[in-house]
C-alpha cells in the first residue's frame, strides 16, 4: 500500500491495481475499481482507514479483474454505491455475460451488482466532498470504458485502467481505442495511475507511456 499523492492510495493489486481516494467528507472513501479480493480492500485498516467508510466505487469497465470483488464489498458494506458507463452496465448488473467480463477465462463465478448511476455523456462529473471526479468516456478496450481525472491542489491525476488494451475480438474497437488514447494525451495529466503497470509521473512520463500505445 502506497500513498500516490495527497489522499490518493494505491491499495495493491488483486487482478488489477485498486486505488482509493479519501475525500475527508461525508462522502468518505472512494474506490477506483474493486479488483478481485475484498481482503485486499480491507487492508486499508492498516493505514488507519475504515473499510466501512467506503461510500463509492467508480468502475472503469466490465472486466472481471476490475469488478470481481464488487458483490463481496457490497455484502460487507451495504452503503457502497457503484458507478459505470451505460455501455458496460449490463454485464456488471446481470448474470450470463461471462464472455464479456472474461469471468469464464479466469474461472470465476461473477456475482452482479446494481449501479447507482450509469454514465451516458462524454464527460460526467461526480462530486464527492470537494473533489470532482471527471469520468471521461474512453471507449475501445470495452465499449463503456472510462478514465477518471481528478485535480488535487493543481495536480492532475488520471486513473486510466487498461490503457495497454488488449484489443479483444468481438468486444473491443481498435479505432475507438486509438482515439481515446489521443484524448487522454490532451489532458496533460501529471500522474497516471494505471491498472496493471503501476504509477507514472511526471507529465512527460505519462505522455511517453500513453504514446507508446498509439500507432
Ligand atoms: Zn480490461
Ligand atoms: Zn484490466
pLDDT given for residue 30 in this prediction: 98
User: What are 98's three cell numbers?
Assistant: 461471462
Tell me the ligand closest to 165's alpha carbon.
Answer: 1
Tell me the ligand closest to 166's alpha carbon.
Answer: 1
Query: Rg of the chain's alpha carbons, rounded to an integer?
Result: 16
Q: How far apart are CA 189 and CA 44, in angstroms?
A: 26
Q: How far is the CA of 127 from the centre of ligand 2 (A)?
A: 25
Domain residue spans in the chain?
A: 2-211
Q: How far apart are CA 204 and CA 206, in angstroms?
A: 5
pLDDT given for residue 90 in this prediction: 98
User: What are 174's three cell numbers?
Assistant: 481498435
Q: How far is the CA of 209 from the centre of ligand 2 (A)?
A: 16
Query: What does each C-alpha distance from 106 to 31, 68, 100, 161 come to in angstroms?
Result: 23, 10, 12, 18
Q: How far apart are CA 104 and CA 188, in angstroms?
A: 37
Does the pTM surpass 0.85? The reply is: yes
Q: How far is the CA of 63 from the centre of ligand 2 (A)?
A: 7
Q: How far is the CA of 163 from the centre of ligand 1 (A)?
A: 9
For Cα atoms 72, 36, 164, give the angle at the middle one, nearest 5 degrees.
Answer: 145
Q: How far is the CA of 96 from the centre of ligand 1 (A)?
A: 18
Q: How far is the CA of 48 from the centre of ligand 1 (A)?
A: 30
pLDDT given for residue 91 in this prediction: 98
Q: What is the dihedral of CA 91, 95, 97, 101, to 10 degrees?
A: 60
What is the domain class of 2-211 according to CATH? Answer: alpha beta
Q: How far apart are CA 125 and CA 112, in angstroms?
A: 24
117: how many CB neighbours lie within 10 A of its CB? 16
Cell 492510495, residue located: 9
Q: How far is the CA of 75 from the centre of ligand 1 (A)?
A: 24
pLDDT per residue rounded down to tens, the chain (215 residues): 899 999 999 999 999 999 999 999 999 999 999 999 999 999 999 999 999 999 999 999 999 999 999 999 999 999 999 999 999 999 999 999 999 999 998 999 999 999 999 999 999 999 999 999 999 999 999 999 999 999 999 999 999 999 999 999 999 999 999 999 999 999 999 999 999 999 999 999 999 999 999 99
Closest by Cα among 40, 95, 29 to 65: 40
pLDDT given for residue 130 in this prediction: 96
164: how many CB neighbours lie within 10 A of its CB? 15
Q: How far is the CA of 102 from the centre of ligand 2 (A)?
A: 10
Q: How far is the CA of 197 from the centre of ligand 2 (A)?
A: 10
Q: How far is the CA of 73 from the centre of ligand 2 (A)?
A: 19
- Which residues are 131's β-sheet partners? 128
Amino acid at each position: 500500500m502506497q500513498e500516490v499523492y495527497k489522499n490518493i492510495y494505491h491499495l495493491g493489486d488483486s487482478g488489477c491495481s485498486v486505488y482509493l481516494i479519501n475525500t475527508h467528507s461525508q462522502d468518505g472513501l472512494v474506490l477506483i475499481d474493486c479488483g478481485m479480493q475484498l481482503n485486499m480492500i480491507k487492508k486499508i485498516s492498516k493505514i488507519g482507514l475504515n473499510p466501512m467508510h467506503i461510500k463509492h466505487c467508480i468502475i472503469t469497465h466490465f472486466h472481471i479483474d476490475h469488478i470481481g470483488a464488487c458483490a463481496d464489498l457490497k455484502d460487507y458494506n451495504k452503503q457502497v454505491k457503484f458507478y459505470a458507463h451505460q455501455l458496460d452496465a449490463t454485464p456488471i448488473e446481470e448474470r450470463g455475460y461471462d464472455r464479456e467480463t472474461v469471468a469464464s477465462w479466469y474461472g470465476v463465478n461473477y456475482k452482479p451488482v446494481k449501479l447507482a448511476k450509469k454514465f451516458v455523456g462524454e464527460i460526467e462529473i461526480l462530486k464527492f466532498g470537494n473533489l470532482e471526479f471527471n469520468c471521461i468516456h474512453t471507449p475501445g478496450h470495452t465499449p463503456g470504458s472510462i478514465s477518471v481525472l481528478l485535480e488535487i491542489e493543481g495536480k492532475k491525476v488520471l486513473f486510466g485502467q487498461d490503457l495497454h488494451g488488449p484489443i479483444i475480438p468481438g468486444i473491443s474497437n481498435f479505432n475507438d481505442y486509438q482515439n481515446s488514447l489521443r484524448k487522454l494525451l490532451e489532458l496533460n495529466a501529471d500522474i497516471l495511475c494505471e491498472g496493471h503497470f503501476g504509477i507514472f509521473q511526471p507529465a512527460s512520463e505519462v505522455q511517453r507511456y500513453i504514446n507508446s500505445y498509439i500507432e
